[in-house]
Each structure stands twice: as C-alpha cells, then as structure tokens.
Structure 1
C-alpha cells in the first residue's frame, strides 16, 4: 500500500524522496527520476514531512529511532506521519519521544485496502495537533478521499481499531453464511444476490465474497495483519473494561488461521477454516 500511496503523492505534484528496506521496491520511483534514499535519516534530512507505512509498532520504532532513523535527520518544522496500524498507546509513545527531538507527530492509519491505495480513495483517520493536521492536509488529500480529523494523538489509531472490529466480524459473518449455504446445497450466486442487494450488504460482501466464491484467497489485506489489529483492539478494550466477545472470537479464529500457515493469505481465507470445521471439501 505504501508504494501506491507514495506514487499518488508524486502524481499530485509534491516533491518526493522514498526509502524502502527492500530496495527493489523503489525501482518504479527511480525510473521516474524520484530520488531514492539510503536510510530513513536521509529522508528526514531532505523532507518537511516524513510518512512511514510499515507492518507493526516495532517496525515504526526502528524507522523512527533506529541507528539511521528519522530522529537523526531531525530539523526545525519536521512532521512525522505514521500511517501504519498499531495502537493509541503506541501513538502517544511515538509522539512523546519525537517531541524530545522537536518533531511533530500525527497518527494517520487508513482503510480502503490495496484498491483504495492505488486509486487514491482511502479513508484516513488523523490524530494530533489540529494546526499540524491543517498544514499537511493537502498531502493526505493526495492519498485519500475521506480525511477525518479525529482529535488528539492516538484517536486516529482508535478509529482504525474500531473499523477493524467491524471488518473482522463482517468477514466472520460472510464465512459462516457461505459455509452453511455450502452444506445446505444453496446456490452461492443466489446467496450473493440476496446478501448484496438486501440489509446484509457491505464492502465485505461486495468485494470479498466474489473472491471467496472463486477460491481466490490472495491478499488485498493479509490475515496476519488483521490478527495484529484485532490483538491491539483487545488490548485496548481490556484497559477500558469494555466486553467485546465478538471481537475476541474473531481474533481467536484469525489466530487459528495464522497457525495453519495462512497468515499471508487474504482475510477472506477465513472461509477455508470454516469449510474445514464443517467438513466441507471444496477441492
């Protein structure tokens, strides 16, 4: 997703320098004459705004505070935007530690998947100082269609975790309906028509169910990443004493999916687990 988002920033006319831990992933940018940095430090030295999009909080910490991290290229006015998904607590931790170097911070996770990243139609949820958000808002508008200022640092991550709760439980519901339909001999195309045109309609039904019907489990969003997001949601709800049994169940099912070696498949691979539990041989 990060590469597509960076390309949209370039297309919007912003000067750009890129870095990736896997250098081959920067080749499309180099071919366009876009400079490729050798480290996050170099990106920071040559930028007013640093955006990082990585897998999890430890990766964010390495990019920001590692040996050649962003903080070593700090200069007055630098803004760091974390567009990864982790947790409100991590966002506050990153903001506090960056402030020691005079760096402003926004947490700005996204939803909309690989399609939204390519098309520049992501929904972006932003936490941090309002004046910093307003200063960099045109950059967000290059990547997303719906930009939401969520308030204080951490609120962007909180909104994203709430989104992931619904995403996960919605996938569980679709997988359960499809497993029962398969066992009961219901035509899957007819089930799709009912779900996609009635009260059960959702992005999961529209986008993922056709893939599930074809046995296409390649990732638009990886199962292991949803497991990680739901883990952060459960950690947060435990601190706030809010019971979320549906989220807890969904996390355990994705734990099982990852344990079966399917973590790098798309979230829709949950159907494979349901078919196995129901004794359905789908080839």
Structure 2
C-alpha cells in the first residue's frame, strides 16, 4: 500500500519516518513545508496540498491538532476530498470526538471513501520508538487492510468497534492520563517539600503501586526540569473538554477530571500550553 501522511509535528514526523523505513510512505504534506524537508531529502514526494497527496496514495493518515483543523484538511479548499477516489482509505489519528468521527465518515462515504478513527497514545517517545498504542474505530474489514500500516509504528493496536469508538477510547485514556499527571506533580511537590532524594522518589513511584505509563514517561523529564512536550498541555486541555462534554450529557459526575481541566485551562491561560503536560506544577 502507498501511504501518505498529513501533519509532520511531534507525533506525525516520527510516525512517517517509520512508514518510510517500512517501505510504505509515498507522500507527505505539512502546512509548513520546511518540516517536510527531511522526507524530500529521502526521495519522498512532498505534496502541494492534501488533495495532491490523496491522488497519489491508497491510505491517507492525518494527525493534526483539533477537529476544525481536521475538517479543513479533509473538506476545505484543496482538501483530501478534492483528490479522493473511490476505495481510498482515510485515517484520522488526531484526537477529537466520536461525533466528529461519525460526521467525517458519513461525508467520505458519499465519495466512496472508507474512514477509520485511530487516535494514539504513548507520546513523542512512543512515536519515536515505534511503540504507540493505537485504538481504532470503523469497519473491521478496513481495519484489517490497514493493520500492516499501523504495525509500522504501533506496538499495541486494538480494534475498538464501529466508527467513533477509537475516539471514545482515547477520551477515556486522556482522563486517566490527566489524573495520573496531577497525582505525579503533586506527589513530587510534596516529596521536595519533605526533603526527599528525588532519584529515590522516582525509583519508588515507577516501581510500586503508584506506577503508571504517565509516571514512567514524564517523571524523569519532570525531575530533570525538562518541560518540553512529549504531549502538549494545550492538547490535553482540549481532550478533557471533549470528555467532560460527554460526562455532562450523560449526567455522569467526574469531579477529579473537572479539577484537572481547570488546572490545564490555567496552563493555557498563562501562555504555558505549549509545554508538556508534566509541566502542570508551573501553575501551582
């Protein structure tokens, strides 16, 4: 299969590089063309637009920031839809919501185009190492076709169900990530106030009952004072908004998640949204 990647940011760039190494990458597109330069130097075609990319591939992978950006890439001027042909498979690997996924799928179906929602977790580290967890919604037969593509950069790939179920699972995941991160930040603040050796603190928190994927990914960076993003605070804030919208509609109390959202809102309000999610202590 010929695969095209739209969005060469923190996650998309290493994912595309793994696809290139697997011999699957046929084209890339990024709004800022300079980010495509490394691929151009490798002989990969750099498309002039999402439509141009869609004409040249069998599978389009898109990973940009939020639903309005995704909609623009798919259906805006020179978007994927303009270059799409029947049988094309479009995969949205950004995080938005099940409603958006179903909306995208319905619009592409009118063009004879298949659609999967397949958000990822594992952060930049997982993308670089080709060890992402991928949660997929859509037709199972389409999922099976695209599975070799996912295997180029994913370690755990789970078919969740119909369109929208990938995004639903990602919102569940983000709630757990956010609450783990709040716990980590407050635990480290307490440890420092008590005068504990932070290396020993890290040893306990990543080896005992408090252990979590978020702790393992972000605690070493936090203790080194490295606040650069493996995943941006602004993006987690956006994901928590989607999750709590569902909770409110379902009359489902989620007070801890609501608190996490308020903290990440403060991150964004103070101009800290581009920092990693582990930089949350900056608002305390």
- Indicate whether the TM-score tops 0.5: yes
Secondary structure class of the residue paired with 1:16? strand
Q: Residue 121 of structure 1: which of 114, 128, 131 is its match? A: 131
C-alpha distance in 2 between matches for 1:74 and 1:204: 38
Give the corresponding residue for 1:6: 16
Secondary structure class of the residue paired with 1:89? helix
- Please report the TM-score for the alignment, with normalisation by the length of structure 2: 0.94
1:181 has 2:191 as partner = yes
Contact kept in structure 2, 1:129 and 1:153, CA below 8 Å: yes
Give the corresponding residue for 1:230: 240
Contact kept in structure 1, 2:65 and 2:95, CA below 8 Å: yes
C-alpha distance in 1 between matches for 2:206 and 2:103: 42
Structure 1's unaligned 5+ residue stretches are: 275-283
Q: Residue 145 of structure 2: which of 120, 135, 159 is its match? A: 135
Summarize deviations over 1:18-76 as a string: whole Å, max 9, x none. Answer: 11100000001100111111000011111111110100001100000011001111212
Give the corresponding residue for 1:76: 86
Give the corresponding residue for 1:278: none
C-alpha distance in 1 between matches for 2:260 and 2:243: 11
What is the number of residues matched between the two proteins? Answer: 274
Mapping of residues 149-228 of structure 1, within 5 Å: 149-228=159-238
Structure 2's unaligned 5+ residue stretches are: 1-10
Give the corresponding residue for 1:49: 59
Contact kept in structure 2, 1:212 and 1:271, CA below 8 Å: no
C-alpha distance in 1 between matches for 2:143 and 2:220: 38
Considering only CA atoms, is the larger Rg found in Structure 1 or Structure 2?
1
- The runs of 4+ residues in structure 1 deviating greater than 3 Å are none
Give the corresponding residue for 2:266: 256
Secondary structure class of the residue paired with 2:85? coil
Q: CA deviation at 1:15?
A: 4.4
1:64 has 2:74 as partner = yes
C-alpha distance in 2 between matches for 1:211 and 1:120: 20
Larger helix proportion of the pair: 1
1:148 has 2:150 as partner = no
Contact kept in structure 1, 2:206 and 2:212, CA below 8 Å: yes
Contact kept in structure 2, 1:234 and 1:248, CA below 8 Å: yes
Q: Residue 118 of structure 2: which of 95, 108, 114 is its match? A: 108
Secondary structure class of the residue paired with 1:17? strand
